[in-house]
Structure 1
Amino acid sequence: MAALDDLIMMGPPEVDKGSMSLIISLQRDDIRQYFASNNGQHAEGERSDTDLAMGLYARELDRFNRFNPIAPDRTPDRHPALQTEEDDQDDQDDAQYDSDIESEYGHGYILRVSEYGDEYYETIYSTSDDNTSEGSDGNTDGMRGCLACNEIEYCSDCLAQLFRNATADEALFPPRCCRRQIPLEPNEHLLPEDLVRHFRDKEVEFSTPNRTYCHQATCSAFIHPAMHVGLVATCSACQSTTCIACKGPSHNGDCPPNDDLQGVVRLAQEEGWQRCPNCQSMIELSTGCYHITCRCGNEFCYLCSEPWKQCDSEEIHDRGHNDHGEAGVAEALALDDYRQIRILDIVDDLMENYECDHPFWRSVQGRNRCETCGERMRFFIYECRVCNILVCRGCRYNRL
């Protein structure tokens, strides 16, 4: 027994790349041969324990090869009888992802996942010369490092994409990495001129409270505050005039009733929705605490719409946390003592630190969906070690 324990502690022996590739290929051949020889021996829909075990092992081989692409065959060794709806969706996503890579980089490029310390990285490789492609011409003169961690570097194309995403999604504005803003001025020479102009326009739009947009549905352009005269805003794109108060066509006298808007307001009152005091966007709280951070960046209380922590709802906030705590206690009473203690500790921690700053992350292998943007991740995802939220790389570094 001692010798066996010593062998386990030593760990697996080092295997060179060629030998590992041969081992994986032989194991795949064995799996294919098994399924071929057993095809038709079971009624449709039936699966033997051996079928299930072989299917799971085939998936593990495929998963290993995704992170260590040393075996040339990247096709999953799944028997059709073991194919699930989730597998079908994953295969469709894989095909679409590979198609997108080929459209962007050309024929002969694949995605590989490499491990560096506790991090995983997706990199585009050329199958012809095995050179990596970062979506640029390979020139590293324009690389820019993260201002917060000094570890992440962005090429000019990736930097431009960050600024472009920030103009399309207000939640990503201003562009940032590791919670530090990426300023425009020092990076302006790396960005296309039209993107810089568009970014500056969006900077004004996103910083304007109670914004006014052109009432013409075919236009809907943001109207710069400089184009406001009294309660009339003139659209610089189509020259239409919009009332700043009711957001409809400009008019004389009092604003006419807006039945559509009033219908939405009544529905919001019935459903308990709130409007952001800054940008007037309608917000629905489905889960979580009453601390709302709107896409415009404004923070307010969902109960009273007052600025966060500047209202009289503190007692109600605490009551909400106590309700969660009592639910946790009720659940713990049905469990053994150790788990009771652990759950109560977690409940206490959530009540004390319910707004997680996500200080520590770990990489988790496998397919998952980002809980922030909803994107399906093929190979890995990041999990916060404190609150256990699962997010993609873009959300971890550039959104949260």
Structure 2
Amino acid sequence: MAFGCICFPFRRLRRCKKCQQTYHAECLRELFTSTLSSSPYHPPRCCGYFIPLSMLYTLYSDQPTPPPPAATSPTEKGAATEEISEKSASTGPKRNDALASSLAAFREVTENAVDCSKCKKWVLPQDIDEDKETAHCNPKFGGCGATTCVICNGPAHPPPSAPKGKAAKFASKPGCTKVNDDERGEVRFKRLVGREGWRQCGKCGWMLSRDTGCCEVICRCGHYETLAF
């Protein structure tokens, strides 16, 4: 699901850095909310690209930043926007109940959600390093800074060849030994499915994806499924 705002005046806008479409904060909140009620459209995207869930920390704040003056020209319009990025999430006032409930709702619909092994806080998908198989509980978003293994959900493991001590905290490659290769492959595949927005056919179980065309996808078995992207 992707759309650009046609609301006026041009104020409190945020820009998708991939396609340069602009959104009002209120409309962006509506986009996030709509993906919760329609699972094929989760996680939220713009032009096929994931919008970081860290944006929720900006959109659901008790005391939003005062809007800039309404733009009266294309130049002023550009100056009144900010990119939809993780950077904008780090500058926000005190978080409120709306943020907490929204994060909880998104966690429920997130495939293979990872909670911090230390403080049990949900780790946002953009703070997960799939290559290292680790999830960082980001202090920018109220996390404790601990690192969790996404395979076994315990504390992150250094690889067998890593030096001990302080350097062992940062694994250079996967080091979880609590699962075998087949189990690791299954977990990684499930995580890939969630990131890419793929769906299993409800009839035969075949994995489906869509690059272009309408949202209605026909499986090879003839069953219809709805895929946002």
TM-score between the two structures when normalised by the length of structure 2: 0.34
Bigger helix share: 1
Q: Greater RCO between the two (CA within 8 Å, min separation 6)?
A: 2
Q: Which has the greater radius of gyration?
A: 1
